Amino acid sequence: MFDPALFKLPGMRKLAVWLSILAVIEGLCIIAQAYYLSVAIVGLWHLHALNTIVRPMLLFALAWVGRQLLVVVKNRLMYPIVEKTSGDMRRQVMQKLYQLGPSYVAKTGTGNVVTTALEGIDKVQTYLMFVVIKVIDMMVIPWVILIYIAFLRWREALFLLAIFPLIIVFMIILGYAAQAKADRQYVGYQRMSNHFVDTLRGLPTLKQLGLSKRYAENVYQVSEGYRKQTMAVIKIAMLSTFALDFFTTLSIAVVAVFLGFGLVDGTIGLLPALVILVLSPDYFLPLRTFANDYHATLNGKNAFADVQKMLALPVPTERLQLGEQPLNWRADSDLQLTNVNFSYDGNQLALKDLNITAHGYQRIGIIGASGSGKSTLINLLGGFLSPAVDDGTIAVNGQTVSHLSQQAWQQSYFYIPQNPYLFHATLAENIAFYQPEAGLSAIGQAAEKAGLTAWIQTLPDGLNTKIGEGSRGVSGGQAQRIALARAFLDDSRKILLFDEPTAHLDIETEAELKQTILPVLDDHLVFFATHRLHWINQMDYVLVMDHGQIVEQGTPAELAAHNGAYVRLRDEMVGAI
Footprint (CB under 8 A) of other proteins, residues 370-429: 370, 382, 384, 407, 410-411, 413-415, 417, 421, 423-424
**Nearest-angstrom CA–CA distance, 434 and 412:** 11
**Nearest-angstrom CA–CA distance, 213 and 85:** 51
245's enclosing H/E stretch is helix 215-265
Q: Which is nearer to other proteins, 113 or 380 (CB)?
A: 113
Restricted to residues 15-54, the positions that interact with other proteins (CB under 8 A) are 37, 40-41, 44-47, 49-50, 53
Write the DSSP string, 104-135. Answer: HHHHH-HHHHHHIIIIIHHHHHHHHHHHHHHH
71, 147, 158, 162: which one binds other proteins (CB under 8 A): 71
Task: Decide: is 460 part of the binding site for other proteins (CB under 8 A).
Answer: no
Of residues 474, 481, 467, the one with CA closest to residue 424: 467
Restricted to residues 214-273, the positions that interact with other proteins (CB under 8 A) are 215-217, 219-220, 223-224, 226-227, 230-231, 234-235, 238-239, 241-242, 245-246, 249-250, 252-254, 256-257, 259-264, 266, 269-270, 273
351's enclosing H/E stretch is strand 349-359
Region for residue 533 given its phi and psi (left: phi exceeds 0; alpha: psi -120 to 50; beta: otherwise):
alpha
360, 468, 554, 564: which one binds other proteins (CB under 8 A): 468
Query: For other proteins, which stretch binds (CB under 8 A), given 8-16, 21-29, 78-86, 341-349?
Result: 78-86
Eight-state DSSP code of residue 327:
P
**Site track 153-192 with other proteins (rule: CB under 8 A), x = hit:** --------------------------------------x-
Classify strands 393-396 and 399-401 as parallel, antiparallel or unpaired.
antiparallel
Q: Which is nearer to other proteins, 8 or 48 (CB)?
A: 48
Q: Which is nearer to other proteins, 227 or 391 (CB)?
A: 227
Query: For other proteins, which stretch binds (CB under 8 A), given 194-202, 441-449, 452-460, 545-553?
Result: 194-202
Eight-state DSSP code of residue 534:
G
**Nearest-angstrom CA–CA distance, 224 and 327:** 64
Q: Which is nearer to other proteins, 98 or 346 (CB)?
A: 98
Q: Tell me how crowded residue 357 is: count the other CB atoms within 10 A of its CB.
A: 14
Restricted to residues 311-370, the positions that interact with other proteins (CB under 8 A) are 369-370
Restricted to residues 102-131, the positions that interact with other proteins (CB under 8 A) are 102, 105, 110, 113-114, 117-118, 125, 129
Quick check: 73 and 46 in contact, CB under 8 A? no
State the Rg of the chain over Cα.
35
Of residues 331, 333, 466, the one with CA closest to residue 395: 333
Write the DSSP string, 222-244. Answer: HHHHHHHHHHHHHHHHHHHHHHH
Quick check: 246 and 187 in contact, CB under 8 A? no
Restricted to residues 490-529, the positions that interact with other proteins (CB under 8 A) are 503-511
Total number of residues that touch other proteins (CB under 8 A): 147
CB of 263 vs other proteins, minimal distance in Å:
4
CB of 541 vs other proteins, minimal distance in Å:
17
Q: Which is nearer to other proteins, 129 or 340 (CB)?
A: 129
CB of 4 vs other proteins, minimal distance in Å:
26
Q: Which is nearer to other proteins, 199 or 341 (CB)?
A: 199
Of residues 247, 530, 513, the one with CA closest to residue 363: 530
Task: Decide: is 477 part of the binding site for other proteins (CB under 8 A).
Answer: yes
